[in-house]
A and B are shown apart, each in its own frame.
Chain A
Amino acid sequence: MNGLNVFEGLGHTFLTVFISLIPLVILFLVFQFLYLKLPMKHVLNLFKGIALALLGIAIFLQGVRVGFFPVGREMGEMLGAVSHKWILIPLGFLLGFLATFGEPAVRVLSDQIERTSIGSIRKSVVLYTISFGVALFVALGMARIIYGIPLMYIVVPGYILAMALLWPSDKTTICIAFDAGGVATGPMAVTFLLAITVGIASAMEGRDPVTDGFGLIALIALAPILSIMILGIIVHIKLRRKEV
């Protein structure tokens, strides 16, 4: 802990994000000159947007790293030492929900779903369903660490259930569900929730921080797949009842 140097490493983060956007920009420029030929003003606006996103994600990642990561670690270590271990389960639920609720990529996906469905699938519904799913599975993950349940006992039945749910689900729901599984494992969830879990695992005897930490990411990726598909089936049944 060396004081309040909250900007340490910002330059490095900025550089990696900058590099990651280069291919898109080059490809766009090639397309622009060969085919698109959009008006210059429009192109300038797009580049302003890219610059904003670049700056934004670098600052965001920095904030997660200097603020949320150490706090997650500290919280985890303190929570790992509490005598009533069961309290970790509701706490995992709460923090899992809230971290996903603050995840930028989850927002982008929900936003795009509302836009392309012309409002028939509301953004908030998608957002709450993903967050709820992750909350449930982080709570499960906590229970797993406390009682020493092997990860495979949750992940294997989970994926079997996901495969089984493919049949009653319609194709839009399936696509959205698996996309949601991808976006939920963003910087907020992975950095903050992982830090808490690693903290807990390292404070408890007989737990391996690395294995238990990994397990959490697998659970977070699985959670929204199930919750979105189950939501889709519920909506489907309701619609059918209305028609009858």
Chain B
Amino acid sequence: MRTIFKDVALEVVKAIAPITIAIVILQFAFIRMPILLFVKFLIGVLLVMLGMWLFLLGVKIGILPMGEAIGSELPKRGALPYIIAIAFLIGFAVTVAEPDVIVLSHQVDIVSDSSISHILLISVIAIGVGFFVAMAMVRIVFGFPMAYLLAAGYAIILVLSFFTPPQFVPVAFDSGGVTTGPVAVPVILALGIGFSSVLAGKSPLSDGFGLIGLASIGPVIGVMVMGVILY
């Protein structure tokens, strides 16, 4: 336990020190922002370091083992529809509450002149994520290549982008980016690794990854389809 605290602390310093040093050098070399702003920045750096330290510790001690426990229990409960339902539920639930998704829905409100409610957009994004996380689990079970799923997903996006009202295109891509935030990533990652680690003939390395990549496609398609239907 002691060593993990120290290791993670060391990692956080290595992660945050470079960008901090770069900004401090830039500040003195030619940016010269107001001193109050600079002090705020330094306090921000301390908060970021403290926060990242606690977060990475918590991910290692809590989130990853919890996600893996659920993931590795799923195949033992057999039936595919059950696995699909749970995977969908996890993808949906993690996304509904992701802080960035909530921020994005406000932006969309502006783009659409309030014709799209927050609840509608958040639901569409979450259904997109849930659907693709479930697809990713089905993929692991049947072992069909990730390349096909990805190629199909991006082909659908490409085709949809011709029919989607132009103001929805940026929002659609943006929603793909924001869904995989710091809360969703460890949960979905652990789910895939836990799940594939107990399935016979699967290895977590070659089968367990890819859920996040697929999860980011879902909302793009979801929002584009919504744009096509609404306009």
Contacts and interface: CB of A to CB of B under 8 A. Distances in A.
B183 A171 contact: no
B90 A63 contact: no
A56 B55 contact: yes
Interface string A100-116: 01101101110011001
Given A183-B185, A214-B174, 10 more contacts: A6-B44, A50-B66, A56-B54, A59-B54, A63-B45, A68-B41, A104-B182, A105-B182, A105-B185, A178-B210
Contacts of B61: 45-46, 48-49, 52
A175 interface: yes
A1 interface: yes
A98 B26 CA distance: 14
A232 interface: no
B183 A17 contact: yes
A125 to B, nearest CB: 14
11 contacts: A22-B97, A24-B93, A49-B65, A52-B61, A56-B52, A60-B51, A64-B48, A68-B48, A95-B22, A98-B19, A174-B210
A178 B53 contact: no
B90 A64 contact: no
A179 B212 contact: yes
Interface stretch (B113-121, B144-152, B223-231): B144-152
Contact of A99 (B19, B63, B65, B209): B19
Interface residues of B, number: 94
Closest 3 CB pairs of A and B: A67-B44, A49-B62, A178-B213
What does DSSP make chain A's interface, helix, strand, loop or mixed?
Answer: helix
Contact of A24 (B39, B57, B63, B102): B63
Nearest to B1: A45
B206 interface: yes
Contacts of B210: 174-176, 178-179
Nearest to B214: A178
Interface in B65-115: 65-67, 69-70, 73, 76-77, 86, 89-90, 93-94, 96-100, 102
A231 interface: no
A86 interface: no
Interface string A58-91: 1111111111101100110010000000000000
A171 B146 contact: yes
Nearest to B173: A218
A217 B177 contact: yes
A244 to B, nearest CB: 24
Contacts of B213: 175, 177-179, 181-182, 225
Contacts of A95: 19, 22
Interface of B: 11, 15-16, 18-19, 22-23, 26, 31, 33-34, 36-67, 69-70, 73, 76-77, 86, 89-90, 93-94, 96-100, 102, 145-147, 150-151, 154, 158, 170, 173-174, 176-178, 180-183, 185-187, 189-190, 193, 204-206, 208-216
Given A24-B63, A185-B180, A6 B43 contact: yes
Interface residues of A, number: 93
A66 B43 contact: yes
Name which of A31, A75, A108 has the most chain B CB atoms within 10 A of its CB.
A108
A196 B57 CA distance: 30
A17 B183 CA distance: 8
Interface in A182-213: 182-183, 185-187, 190, 211
Given A24-B93, A108-B56, A112-B193, A171 B47 contact: no
A59 B218 CA distance: 29
B154 A190 contact: no
B54 A52 contact: yes
B82 to A, nearest CB: 12
Which of A63, A99, A214 counts the most chain B CB atoms within 10 A?
Answer: A63
Nearest to B197: A116
Contacts of B100: 187, 190
Contacts of B177: 182, 185, 190, 217-218, 220-221
Q: A22, A68, A220 — which one has the most chain B CB atoms within 10 A of its CB?
A: A68
